[in-house]
Amino acid sequence: MSPTRDLLREPWVQRGVRAALAAALAWQVAVLLPPPLAQYSYYAALGAVIAVHPTVADSAAAAWRTVLAILLGFVLAVGVHELTASPLIPGAVTIALVVAVAIVVEQWPVLGEHRTWVSFAAVLMFTVGAADPARYAASYGGLTLLGAAIGVLVTTVLFPPLQLTTAVRRIDASRELLARHLQDIAGGLREGVVPSPGEWDARGQALAGALDRMRAAENLVERARRANPRARRWRGEASSIREQSRALDRVAVLIDDLTTMVVEFQPHRRGIDRIEGGTGWVLAEALDGLAHVVRTPHATGTGHDVPDDRAEALAAAEHALQRLTALVRTSDVADDEGFFALGAVTVGMHRALDTLRDRRGEAHMA
């Protein structure tokens, strides 16, 4: 893939191109309107920029909610101004009332994150458009709506975003951190230096943040599919992202549980005289095998001669895990806390490997 095409797949580049084009089109359309409106053409450009969002659905929602908030602000500003139109009432009191009422109106859930436009529009009307409220409301509100409509149209037509690039990157980052998480524990087992629970909690924060960003990216892809003319074309890749994200999420929960047990109970040390020697090494090999599966994507080729590294990784992980399972089964320890923790870790690893092997997710764990 060429560098230019790679660059055009960047969400911020796509949004920049869409916003610039929408603002230019809105401006050009507005200057062709009759003179009373043409002089406010910059409001159309503002509306266009407001409406250009990461998804088509978000663009449409931003357009009508912003315009609604602006009109509400205009209406309440005019209403408060008329009710306080007395020489005895200072302008400072009037504007304080305008802002107070606007803040109350902003609590309406329908406005969502665009609620702050109510107070902005109310103050703007009071300070700029009070001389001719109707004309100002028509100019500002009407042209903003026109620009927003153009913004939505441009977002829909010009490479409507599906946010796939960001989602793929965040899934890859989560997969890498999750694999490193397992390998760090495995390395500690081999060296006999497993971190304390407090240290491990701090090290796990980076993984938790990556998983949160991955989930947010998956949700954004799902929203981007709504009212998107490209949704059918990229349905397979979007479904792949959903399966990858959810599989990694399930595995992350299981791995967090098993690594916590390793760090807290250190089953490779407790009862080591009664459980076969080398428990730490066997457990480390199993953790490394699981890490390799998490990190290894499926082969993208369809021919039978294309080697599937993931299948090999699954086989190696299964072999290492069977050694750990055999160690637990052949031990005669029945009352040691560390032994029970080792058994729980073994079960957790089996469940994690089963999740990674799941037929619905295997084809998408790329």
- Give the pLDDT score at 356: 84
Structure tokens at 236: 């397979």
Which residue has 């009373």 as its token pair? 36
Spatial CA neighbour of 69 closest among 134, 6, 123, 14? 123
Name the residue with higher pLDDT: 188 or 292: 292
Structure tokens at 276: 């076969």
Orientation of helix 164-191 relative to helix 235-265, angle to 10°: 20
- How do residues 89-132 score in pLDDT, each as one tens digit? 888 898 899 999 999 999 999 999 999 999 999 998 888 877 78
- Give the pLDDT score at 148: 93
- Give the pLDDT score at 24: 95
Would the CA dihedral through 56, 58, 60, 62 be positive or negative?
negative
> Cα torsion for 318, 319, 321, 324, to the nearest 10°?
170
DSSP 8-state code for residue 62: H
Q: Tell whether the model's pLDDT for residue 334 goes beyond 60.
A: no
DSSP secondary structure of 307-336:
--HHHHHHHHHHHHHHHHHHHHHH----S-
Q: How far apart are CA 145 and CA 154, in angstroms?
A: 14
* Alpha helices, DSSP H, located in 32-55: 35-38, 41-51
pLDDT bin (cut points 50, 70, 90) of residue 254 is confident
- Mean pLDDT of all residues in the chain? 80
Q: What is the mean pLDDT of residues 198-212?
A: 76
Q: Tell whether the model's pLDDT for residue 38 goes beyond 80.
A: yes
Name the residue with higher pLDDT: 209 or 145: 145
Q: What is the mean pLDDT of residues 322-349?
A: 78
Name the residue with higher pLDDT: 150 or 310: 150
DSSP secondary structure of 118-181:
HHHHHHHHHHTSTTSHHHHHHHHHHHHHHHHHHHHHHHHHSS----HHHHHHHHHHHHHHHHHH
Decide if 239 contacts 225 (C-beta within 8 A). Answer: no
- Find which of 66-80, 329-343, 346-360 is predicted with most confidence, using mean pLDDT: 66-80
Q: What is the mean pLDDT of residues 3-31?
A: 84
* Alpha helices, DSSP H, located in 84-107: 91-105
Which residue has 């729980």 as its token pair? 344
Decide if 210 contacts 177 (C-beta within 8 A). Answer: yes
Share of the chain above pLDDT 70, in %: 81
